[in-house]
Structure 1
Amino acid sequence: MEATVTVTPDQLPELLLHVAVVRPVFLWGAPGIGKSSLVRDFADALGLECVTLLGTQLAPEDLIGVPQIVDDRSRFAPPEMIAREQPYCLFLDELNAAPAEVQKSFYSLILDRRVGNYELPAGSVVIGAGNRATDNALARPMASALVNRMVHVHLRADVDDWLKWASVSDMHPWVVNYIVQRPDHLWSQPPKTEQPFSTPRGWHMLSDALHSYGDGLDDTTLWVLASGILSAAHASGFRAFVKTVRHAFDLEAVLKGDAGWPRDPVDRDLLYFLSEAFRARLIKELPESREHVSAGVKRFVLRAKTMLTELAEISVECAQLVIASDDDGLPVLPSWFLIEVTRDLPRLAARR
């Protein structure tokens, strides 16, 4: 199912509080963005035990139960994990990855809150979750009868929400500070091949590994860890960022003129990282219209053009990366700035 309207992790609890208590909800989202943990946190907030069933690990009889003879008649006895006396949160994770026969077994449980003669206690909530087919994850078509039994909510990764969570979750400062500088690296589209890709869950895994190693982590091991968890581009960027931290060398120093662009060929990954960080800063700081440029921004623009000139002397490729268009060929920097760069860079280069 493709997303039409999405919600952030911060918006989800209130929505569930009003909807999940009266109707089953299905939560769609890419792998690793926190669907399962958000559902568990929601259940905890309601004081409900969260009982998780994985659709990929179930057979129909795991839900329906097995027949028993009672008073010379047979009836199905639902499994203990479902048949509870106290209200609880039933979390059907990876529901759309379950085989069709298993999905059918959920029909009455989801719509009527009933399995055979057993009915969920009043106050229970039912929440399903799954990945999308576009995420290259295991996802089977969901029958229209099942789709129509739930309220569908699409969750997206949100940098501000993640940073707020990270600030109280003992995330490694390298990870937090990197995402502050490169918020676009929090999540990457899952690849079509079996390669790592970046997700909030992946950054959490990397943070745990960094904490485990402590200060003795060497560059080679860092590269192994980052490459095994993140996308290749993000792993390279994070490795270069750690170099800046360890050598007290960052974009701010270059902006202030306290340091120059790294020129040593062995620091080429660092140069690429600083170039990308410079591009991100320009996108953030420059207004769309020249009319809204303050005196402070004018000084920043002048410095930025000088930095681009210096960068082009070291690597034309990195300088082009700073001002390049997006993947669709559309400019990401304001047109007035690009015009000034085209006009002034030759003059600045000649002056140098």
Structure 2
Amino acid sequence: MALSYQALLTAVPVVLKAGNVPNIVGEAGIGKSALVADVARKLGAKLFTTVVSLSEKGDLAIPVPPLTSDSFIQTQHYGQLADVQFGYSHTLIEIIQYAEAHPQQPILWLLDEFNRGTQAVQSELMNLVLQRTINSLRLPEQVQLILAENPDASMTGFEQSTYGVVAGDAAIKDRTVRLVMRADPADWLAWAQRSDEQRQRPNIHPLVQQFISEDVTRLNQTDVQADLTATPRAWERVSANLYELEQLPDDQQTLVALDIFQGDVGATLGLAFYQFIEQQAIHVTPAMLYEAQPVGAVAPAPVLKQFTAMSELQKSTVLASCLQLTATYPLTDDHNAGRFMQLLQTLSQDGQFALVQQIGHQRELLKQLYTANVAKQSPYVTALYQYLQQVASWSNQ
């Protein structure tokens, strides 16, 4: 059985507190590293990460000669080791020094992409995982290990997996607790809506949230051509790219957006998301509608063309906004009334009827339009009022 992100936030600390080593198994980009970072915050622990797939044999236990006396570190309680900059030994030094400076704080050491390292590298790590020792060095008691792996075909439920991994030693499997992680759309969408306090915006762009929520299978979906896979991490990139694209002029956005999205989530989903963005973009605002030159009761041709090209939902949204701005753009003004009626008539009958129902709840607006209709001094206002009556009568047909 696979666990969701939220369930693993409970399960991983349980395994750690029991003195065992969690082995989190999940597809690439599903959020394993982010999960461990959240666990560290939850436990008040300092997190160190080593990417095993980027390491070579000897990085951990064999120092690179020649070494001077300055290259050897004598720890206070845990033995002597050589400092090989940027290798495992350097990470070990940082961990030991942090442990000595903060003896009461728990420390988590994530060995990420564990089964994508070579067999030689994995063998080198065996004592670290099994015995908590490397040569003469022993890990402080406050240091706890967490493994993260991609699935391989030998694992139950992942028989069709095609990751380039090296199957783990049986001893590792016997000494760790395998926790399979699955992408949970509900968890992800809840996180996506939360605010990034540093950037002062949602974790994930609202349009990405909406696109995923319409079909949650998109969150973790392989491209039809099996080239790229849309993962939670890939959608996080899409969101970040979209935020940056919005800072560009429209012509530059159009030039590069599709290629960027397809580079994140593949050709098929990238195109679908690009088209979704195009459909959601509102190109005409109430201010543009009412203030476009030349003035008059007829909308200028460029504005009318833009409005007509929008989707039914977009047009309804703009006209509904107009109804909320009648204090600024009163429909008792001939120019405003004429343009509003002209654009209202571009909606489908159902769309017009739904909008007129909204107007029916605005008693003050109806009263003003009725008074203008009786006065017969504003022909476009009169025409609008009578047309609204006509649309309202469609419910009886």
State the partner residue of 1:13: 9
Cross-structure match for 2:236: 204
Contact 1:31 1:135 in 2 (8 A): no
Between the aligned partners of 2:7 and 2:209, the Cα distance in structure 1 is 22
Q: Does the residue aligned with 1:26 lie in a helix, a strand or coil? A: strand
The 2-side partners of 1:255 and 1:181 are apart by 24
Aligned to 2:31: 34
- The CA deviation string for residues 280-306 of structure 1, in whole angstroms up to 9 with x for no partner, is xxxxxxxxxxxxxxxxxxxxxxxxxxx
CA distance in 2, matches of 1:252, 1:28: 47
| CA contact 1:30–1:135 (8 Å) conserved in 2 | no
Q: CA deviation at 1:209?
A: 0.9
1:119-172 CA deviation, whole Å, 9 max, x = no partner?
A: 222222111112123453321111212221211011111110111111114221
Match 1:64 to one of 40, 61, 64: 61
* Shift of residue 104, structure 1, vs aligned partner: 1.1
**1:28 offset after TM fit, Å?**
0.7
1:177 aligns with 2:181: no
1:101-250 aligned at under 5 Å gives the runs 101-133=120-152, 134-168=160-194, 169=196, 170=202, 171-189=204-222, 195-214=227-246, 216-217=249-250, 218-246=253-281, 247-250=310-313
Pair 1:98–1:6, CA change in 2 (3 A): same
What is the root-mean-square deviation of aligned Cα atoms in Å?
A: 3.0
Instruction: Decide which structure has the larger Cα Rg and report it.
Output: 2
Equivalent position SS for 2:180: strand
Is the CA contact (8 Å cut-off) linking 2:222 and 2:228 kept in structure 1? no
Separation of aligned partners in 2, 1:34 and 1:191:
23
**Structure 2: how far apart are the matches of 1:183 and 1:252?**
27
The aligned amino acid for 2:181 is L
TM-score normalised by length of structure 1: 0.64
Range that drifts further, 178-187 or 233-242: 233-242
1:46-99 Cα distance to aligned partner (Å, 9 max, x none): 22221111112223322224498x9xxxx9726241241514211101110111
**Matched position secondary structure for 2:146:** strand
Letter aligned with residue 81 of structure 2: A
> Structure 1 counterpart of 2:142, which letter?
G
Q: Which runs of 5+ in 2 are unaligned?
A: 83-88, 100-105, 153-159, 197-201, 282-309, 317-346, 353-397
Length-normalised TM-score, structure 2: 0.57
Q: Distance in 2 between matches of 1:190 and 1:114?
A: 44
2:382 corresponds in structure 1 to none
Q: 1:99 aligns with which of 104, 114, 118?
A: 118
C-alpha separation between the residues in 2 aligned to 1:124 and 1:15? Answer: 18
SS at match of 1:103: helix
- Which whole-Å CA distance do the structure 2 matches of 1:257 and 1:114 have between them? 73
User: Aligned pair count?
Assistant: 250
Identical counterparts, % of pairs? 23
SS in 2 for 1:27: strand
Specify the code of the residue in structure 1 equivalent to 2:56: A
SS at match of 2:189: helix
Q: 2 CA distance for matches of 1:149 and 1:252?
A: 61
* Letter aligned with residue 171 of structure 2: A
SS at the partner of 2:221?
Answer: coil
Contact 1:89 1:127 in 2 (8 A): yes
Residue 92 (structure 2) aligns with: 82
**Which AA in structure 2 matches 1:128?**
L
CA distance in 1, matches of 2:262, 2:33: 25
3-state SS of paired residue (2:47) = strand
Give 2:27's aligned amino acid. A
CA distance in 2, matches of 1:140, 1:151: 18
Aligned equivalent of 2:351? 258
**Counterparts of 2:12 and 2:34 in 1: how far apart (Å)?**
14
Within-5 A mapping of 1:37-48: 37-48=34-45
